[in-house]
Structure 1
Amino acid sequence: MAKPTETEVSRVNQAIKYARSLKKPNLSAISKEYGVDYKLLWRRVKQNMKPKTDVKPSNYALNVQQEKALGYWIQAMDAAFIPPTPNIIEQWANATLARSKTPDRTVGKDWVYRYIKRFPDTEMKLRRQKIVDSKRLGAADVSMLYHWYDLLAKALDGVHPRLIYNFDETGFHIGQGRTQRVFSSRMNKSQQLASNEHGERVTVAECIAADGWRMHPLIIFKGQHHMESWYDHILPDEWMTATAEKGYIVDELAVLWIQEFDRETRNRVNKNEQRILLVDGCGSHLTFEFLNIAEKANIKIFGFPPNRTNYLQPLDGKPFQAYKAYFRSQNNLISQWGGGQLATKSSFLHDLLTFRDKALTSRICRNAFKDRGIYPPDAEIVCKPLDNSLPEPLDLEIDLRNEKTLSPGPDLLSSSLENTPSKTFKDVEKRQRHLSGLLDRSNITPKEKKTLSQVLEEQEFYFNALANTSATIAEMARFKAPREKKITKRHILGLRDDGMIRVKDAKRSIAARHTKEAEKEEKRLAREWKKNHPNSTTPFRSEAEKDAEAEPLYNETGEVIGFFDKF
């Protein structure tokens, strides 16, 4: 239905005004005189109904100006070849609500798709960004699997879930993204996302228990030396890093890992209890040294059938599926907000810290053992759906949009954007209340009233549009910052390059080098002082000594405003 013109609206308003000025108006005659619809005039006069343009639908979370500002931001992002995903649109809608009078309110899970349907630009549609990944295929003898589950049930009989572990590695290609849908008007450009499908591989070794516990990870980089730039970010001290020629776990690293596993899980074992470690058939897990250390520590190694781990191993289920999904989504965000800058070795550890806690939750770890029929042992979960051969492994869907950790909240915006806009919005409301009072004055002309009404509407739109732009800049800066650090090629000295080290050891080595260089610099400055002041009786003092001997300066109220050097 076509929208009424300004002239038609004016005639309706004049007819309503005239009808209400009469005690007993003849609505039929008035409708003919002004050329307006009789039923419309009757509803507006007799039932006192407001026009649809004045009624805000009750199911709209954002008002007209807020939606207009959000649409303006979406089109601007699309024009800049950064089309937003539905999840990002939802985050920005919640950020808009956070800036208004309802900071605790959020849009529903399907709000984005309803908003997209009524989006004014008909060229904007959800379009898929495709990244193709290969899937492993395999076949299995069901009777052999039933036999393996019988052996597993005997091995786990009476064993507490805190004693049942699974150890495995997964590979990440730095910069690899994932398929996602974006809201865009472009058919081709929006289907491309900066990604590095053949990026350098990093191996992460994880170990989880059936009760939801997880061990500190081992991150294996391809190379020969540990680089100082890897540890520029804030990382847990107990994380372990290592280097390998091809970026895969090797026999020596597997031996070092089983020793760390023994130390970290020793306090979870009571007297006469045995730990069960489920591993795949990788050669590094079955060397004499590996098995010998496990036997001495009373750790029973239980293997999976060959070529069946993708169906049986707990870590190969939802834990690693979620791991990869969050990793690729993180890289999509880096590509989206970082201006095409992809992850590097230096930023990988920082990125890993952001998505590991989301992917390897205690609940996901517990369910991983249950979903594969490991604990409690249940062969029917895997074997019953099979008919002589295993089908293609399930590609588990990880719904990142419904994860609580990805729900938009205060962490979406920086502290300044989180606090300042809400205060500014109060100022906007204050101005609007002041200006709204002018509309009721009798000396204001209809033209002035119309102009003032437009100002009130546009004021909120421009406020939200400006806030969205500021938030976009802040989000880009947040993703760019870890990747814009100057990457040095300085090696970490004093530590074995062919072994496994902890983050705290790497930090200690870097701090020792900084101290040594500072001492060397002070000696150089002392020589320069002596050379430039040969007859001076004042000895050279370092910056630390100056700070220690400086006297504080106070203002009138007694506050320290600086320090005064006595020399």
Structure 2
Amino acid sequence: MVKHAESKSKQKKKAREKIENNIRRAMEAYRAELIKPKEQRLGLRKITAMYDGVMVGTLRNRVEGGRSITEFNATKQKLSREDEEQLTALIQLSSDRGLVFTHDDIRNAANAILRQRHGPQFEAVGIQWVHRYLERHYSEVKTYWSTHLDCQRADCLNPVAVKKWFDIIEKEIVAKKVPPELIFGMDESGFQLANDAKVRCAGRTNRKLQPRRGGANRENITALVTICADGTALKPLVIFKGQHVMTRWTENNVADVRQVYAYL
């Protein structure tokens, strides 16, 4: 799979995080040296030489209570770190339920937090704020092109329904020792004749697709795939809706698909 190149700002952020991690390790090493007798201690220069990217002046400043660049920049952000963590959790939870956040939604949610904190005279976030927010939280929130998820399917994904499903599997298949050759799994996909526009939205990191709630009442063509637990599979089945069969529908059937026409 081809991956997109990271932005320069994200690359710089990762480089800063690596250096910051080395600074923390150097601080721990320096504090460990303070426990030793004075004549056996390593100086700041020797300690910084052990960690890439750590300067003597930087380590001395941090040991004396100075702030990191990340901590200093956090004081200039309109939303506090805690507020951004709550916003991140909201985006992740909403994306799991198919209620995706677009860039405008993220901006509106941030302004709602600021309005609650500072009243009606709050200073709204800027146009580029969302991009900077996503780069700060790249390990937790990522942008995707949305895919459509029907509301009924989204509502069915809850702990009670999932537990009940596995209880049925345990009772009817595992306990009764049903052989693999008698277990089939089927899935269907609907291909709409009219394509709905996708939107760029934010969701939890480390997923391939981001479902988006939407209606499923448009006319479409249904494809069914059935696979057996023993590794075999039935021929795919495609269902067309129409009163007249068109010859071109059955041409170039390279997958040897079984075709059904629903005369509705």
With normalisation by structure 1, the TM-score equals 0.21
With normalisation by structure 2, the TM-score equals 0.41
Q: Which has the larger radius of gyration?
A: 1
* Higher helix proportion: 1
